[in-house]
Structure 1
Amino acid sequence: MRKRNKTKDKSGDTIFPLNIDELEKVISSKFENNPDIKFSTYEQQGRKVAIFFIDYQVDVQKLQESLLGPLLNMEKEWSNDSIVNEIPLNSATKISSLDEILKRLVIGEVIIYVEGENESLTYLLLHKESRSLEKAETESLVLGPKISFTESLATNLNIVRWRIKSTDLVLEEVKIGKTMPHDVRIVYMKSIANEEDVNTLRQRLKELDVDEIEDSVVLKQYLEDSQYNLFPQFDHTELPDRFTYSIKKGKVGILVENSPSGFLTPSTLFSFLESTEDLYMRWQAGTFLRLLRFFAMAFSIIVTPMYVAAVSFQYTIIPTEILITIGQSRAAVPFPPLIEALILEFLLELLREAGARLPTKVGQTMGIVGGIVIGQAAVEAGLTSNILIIVVAMSALSSFTVPSYLLGTTIRLIRFPLILLAGFLGFLGIMFGLSLLIIHLLRLKSLGRPYLVPLYPLRLEDFNKVFYRTPFNFTNKRAKAYKPKDLIRFNKKDATKKRDIDE
């Protein structure tokens, strides 16, 4: 009996040449006889060919018209070379490894094997399900584009290309994941983005050794400079206009297959308080809204701890009229201010989380009605005071002004240790907690860049790009914080030159 010559892959698996029946048994055993594996055999001039694929992952119409039709109508004898030459598809790949065949099957490729050949052919005829472009949910805007990214990487790349019509735009491809690889794209402007930032991000991606990544939010956590802090270090967004606007400033973006959002780096604490909506307003209104967000963030962090500290220890700083009102509202409350504040903050977080998990209409109704009913019942039952309900409500309202959901969550978490420090040490505890927080922020980095720039290190020339807005004629330079290659956006002298209508 003649011994067959077998092709071995790197792992030692022998797979080709095989007859068609043996190949079908091997594939069926690997997929536990899964009925979704379609295995078809055709014969021509005494030669057999097997075609197999996963049913719901392949574009059946394209399979029939572009592959099966030309294959069955071929006049030449079937072979790998003749099939590649006769079938007008550009995605043909020759493989002989069983592991490679299985990997390509699960990502939607069609495998063709001509009996007796030492290699099989694969064609990518993937059928992707994707939702249409919809309005952004977590980052709502009054002015500006409303569409958001989708789970389709091709759609997201199309949107980015549509918004940045330039040959300078780079969409670098990287594969992440050993067992279930995902397509990841590094997005940046070649003539603007800092080369060191691009290389650092590329290195971190290539050195990442994981089986799979579920979403861009998960990938972001793998790539961050420090995974042991509360503050997000990469800016996360589902808005294409915010994504492309940051790319044009010199940042580097990441888009991931099956993820409806992208992230940007390097980022600063103040990046999470910016909104592209500021650009669509007059510069005076944009400045007011930015300053309002900064104030609201600080107010949300310290107002409840200050109430606890003042009522528990430093009540002498409270004006007499207000102190009498607070004393009357707390007369029937059996708990100290610390416990009272923690109970109310905990109830607020329960309402917020429940409202986010319920269907939209039910969640909104439950949040409003639940807050009113529970708050009123708590006051009447003597569990809390009216004054503290107002303080906690103002704190929650202030946290909602932060455009970034991730930073808003961080602010909510910071409040609890500050309340505890205020309850035990008063204003001294608050100052101690804020000092630790500032020290932590000073040490924090995003892709190796300082997290508090332009405050630290101090860059006064970047203040008009962070804390306030100026007329567009005066924004001729990009922020130095990201160290872009090209610092100049346009010629300021030409932009401010007055022209007659007939020029």
Structure 2
Amino acid sequence: MKLEKGNKGNEIGSNQNWIERLSKSNDFVHEHTSLIDKEPFWISYYRTLISTDILHQDVLPFLQKQLPLEELKSKIPVQEIIFTKNPDEIIQKILNGFLAIQKQQNDQECLLINIANSNFRDVGPPTMEASALGPQIGFIEELDTNINLIRKRLPVPELLAEEMKVGELSKTRVAVLYIDGIADPENVNTVIQRINDIQYDHIQDSSYISAMIEDNSNSLFPQSITTERADRVAAGLTEGKIIIAVDGSPNLIILPVTFMESFIAIEDYSYSWILSNFFRLLRLAAIFISTLISPMYVAIMTYHYELIPSRLLDTLVASRSAVPFPPFLEALFLELMIEMVKEAGIRLPLKIGQSLGVVGGIVIGQAVVEAGLTSNVLLILVGLGTLASYTSPVYKFSNTIRFIKFPIIFFAQWFGLVGVFLCFQFTQIHLLRLTSLGRPYLSQYPVRKTSFQDLWIRTPFSMQKLNPSTLRPQEKRKSTGTGKKMGPVNDFYE
């Protein structure tokens, strides 16, 4: 909607147009603050978007004076006040909780005052990434509060935030954060360009953004990490990562990432480096157990009895003697049952879901064994695999592991251990080809010394002197000891 200068009729028409467009909604208010028609002021706002306390305490008392809008702007004690004549901007600001003030109803000039209702839940501990040690602060659904939590941890002017709006209808605020001088400018430009290229009506959560800017949207493996922990975000920024914060979402996106970062918990840094390495390797082993334990059972029990020790074979034969199904159907049935119990526990109300997950799993499992539908040995193995699938600190990666075992079970039924090996090789080839923001996802090739500082294993803090080379950081040293930049350290990266 454009206004022609010098054409008063068009200006009044445009002014009336935005009032008429907004007045179609019952929660829009357009009223006169005076009993005399020729006296100021006219105010317009959505009563469902504003704070009535700010309106009555900080705005309306100043509207009793005969002041021009420019002078009124300096009198009202509200931080964000805009003077504009653009009807499109007026509409957009009112929809964001602003109050529009006009001296007369037909005036084109408006004073826009931010009195938006900003009631959000209080900052609390993270729910999906709980830890026994370390900070207990998680993000919430308000963008400015989340950026505030990050800036409190990194109070440096080099921490930059570039904000944009995404979504034709939702107009969702999205902020890209990085540390200037550390983050690779190519990574920053790539993220901003991909976000600007998004063509979608409604952006409801940060998961929408992560799915739309991934290098391979058809891959099961997440090429970004979503986190609600402020300490994890701050640590990523100092290494040269890019952070994407979305208004309305408590989960922030970290880019680029590697495969091994899915096994790194933030509380690893609260233990000694020896214990941290033990737990990290335990999580890595748990992923292999969760993925392969059921397919290996199917393959061995179907084709490779000779691999089972004789004493264990007697136990397995006695366990399966009353089971009428082949190992493939037995394992598939039990895995699907466990998945349904987990899904039901998530979807049901909290207290009911907890009872179903604990009591329901035990009762159903015992009933299935007693009915002879599955063996108690397989029940133990599936339970172990289910526990192992949740050892990853990244929830999206756990979902990947939950799903990937099913195609391996089918290949184990068709080809035995050869089928399991083929699936493993296919997954490894896929991971080798996968990238995150153009950087190698698996981080195995080329091998860098920085990968052995805090990726595959965690060394003592005294040995973690370099940022990960896979991020191509501008500043390669983590600490100089003098507060001055020491330049690149190419001999560690070549």
TM-score by length of 1: 0.90
Counterpart residue number, 2:3: 8
Number of positions where the alignment pairs a residue of Structure 1 with one of Structure 2: 478
Task: Tell me if 1:204 matches 2:190.
Answer: no
Distance in 1 between residues matched to 2:170 and 2:101, nearest whole Å: 22
Question: Is contact 1:255-1:261 (8 Å) kept?
Answer: yes
Aligned residue in 2 for 1:156: 146
Evaluate the alpha carbon distance shift between residue 26 and residue 398 of structure 1 in structure 2; reply closer, same or farther with a 3 A threshold. Answer: closer
Letter in 2 for 1:8: L
How much does 1:435 deviate? Answer: 1.1
Cα deviation per residue 1:445-489 (whole Å; 9 max; x = unaligned)?
Answer: 100001011x12222441231121221111111111111111112
* 1:77-123 residue CA offsets vs partner (Å, 9 max, x unmatched): xx444544554555333444544433222210111223343333322
- Assess if the C-alpha contact under 8 Å between 1:7 and 1:16 holds in 2: no
Which of 58, 73, 76 is matched with 1:66 structurally? 58
Quote the residue 1:3 is aligned against: none
Compared CA separation, residues 15 and 97, structure 1 to 2 (3 A): farther
Show the counterpart of 2:92.
Answer: 103
- Residue 349 in structure 1 maps to residue 336 in structure 2: no
- Cα distance in 2, alignment partners of residues 167 and 152 from structure 1: 22
Cα distance in 2, alignment partners of residues 15 and 152 from structure 1: 39
Computed over aligned residues only, the root mean square deviation of the Cα atoms, in angstroms, reads 2.4
Matched residues in 2 for 1:146 and 1:7: separation? 50
Aligned to 1:235: 225
What CA distance in whole angstroms lies between the structure 1 residues aligned with 2:53 and 2:482? 59
Match of 2:269 in 1: 279
| Separation of aligned partners in 2, 1:15 and 1:436 | 66
For 1:39, which of 27, 30, 33 is the aligned residue? Answer: 30
Answer yes or no: is the 8 Å Cα contact 2:23–2:29 preserved in 1. no
Contact map agreement 1:474 1:492 (CA 8 A) in 2: no
SS in 1 for 2:170: coil
Tell me, in whole angstroms, the C-alpha distance in 2 between the residues paired with 1:300 and 1:457: 28
Q: 1:48 to 1:489 in 2, by over 3 A?
A: closer
Matches within 5 A, 1:436-451: 436-451=426-441
Alignment map for 1:279-428 (pairs within 5 Å)? 279-428=269-418
Structure 1 unaligned residues grouped into runs of 5+: 1-5, 495-503
Q: How much has 1:26 moved relative to structure 2? A: 6.4
> Among residues 135, 155, 169, which one is paired with 2:159 in the alignment?
169
Partner amino acid for 1:130? F
Structure 1 CA distance for aligned equivalents of residues 426 and 59 of structure 2: 65
Instruction: Return 200-209 or 420-429, whichever deviates more.
Output: 200-209
Alignment of 1:176-255 (within 5 A): 176-255=166-245
Does structure 1 conserve the Cα–Cα contact (< 8 Å) formed by 2:289 and 2:385?
yes
SS in 1 for 2:48: helix
CA contact (8 A) 2:22 2:28 kept: no
Matches within 5 A, 1:85-124: 86-87=75-76, 89=78, 91-115=80-104, 116-124=106-114
* Alignment deviations for residues 179-212 of structure 1 (CA, whole Å, 9 cap, x no partner): 2212211111112111111111111112222223
Q: Which runs of 5+ in 2 are unaligned?
A: 484-494
| CA distance 1:434–1:27, change in 2 (3 Å) | same
Give the counterpart letter for 1:423 in structure 2.
Answer: Q
Between the aligned partners of 2:277 and 2:54, the Cα distance in structure 1 is 54
Aligned letter for 2:476?
L
Question: Conserved in 1, the CA contact under 8 Å of 2:4 and 2:11?
Answer: no
CA gap 1:325/1:31 in 2 versus in 1, 3 angstroms: farther
Matched to 1:108, the amino acid is G
Distance (whole Å) between structure 2 residues aligned to residue 417 and residue 143 of structure 1: 37
Q: Distance in 2 between matches of 1:15 and 1:215?
A: 40
* Cα offset, 1:15, TM superposition: 6.5
Quick one: distance in 2 between partners of 1:350 and 1:81? 63
Q: Secondary structure at the match of 2:43?
A: strand
Bigger mean CA deviation after superposition, 186-195 or 116-125: 116-125
Letter in 2 for 1:17: I
Cα 1:16/1:340, change in 2 over 3 Å: same
Specify the alignment match of 1:498 in structure 2.
Answer: none
Residue equivalent to 1:484: 473
Instruction: Report the secondary structure of 1:51's partner residue.
Output: strand
**Contact 2:450–2:466 (CA under 8 A) maintained in structure 1:** no
For 2:445, give the aligned amino acid: Y
Instruction: Tell which deviates more after alignment, 169-178 or 472-481.
Output: 169-178
- Secondary structure of residue in 2 paired with 1:147: coil
| Distance in 1 between residues matched to 2:416 and 2:2, nearest whole Å | 76
Q: Greater CA deviation, 121-130 or 438-447?
A: 121-130
Per-residue deviation, 1:157: 1.1
Q: TM-score, normalization: structure 2?
A: 0.91
Deviation readout 1:364-392 (Å, 9 max, x if unpaired): 22112111111111111110001111111
Which moves more between the two structures, 283-292 or 46-55?
A: 46-55
Query: CA offsets per residue over residues 389-418 of structure 1, 9 Å max, x none?
Result: 111111111111111110000001100000
Identity %: 35
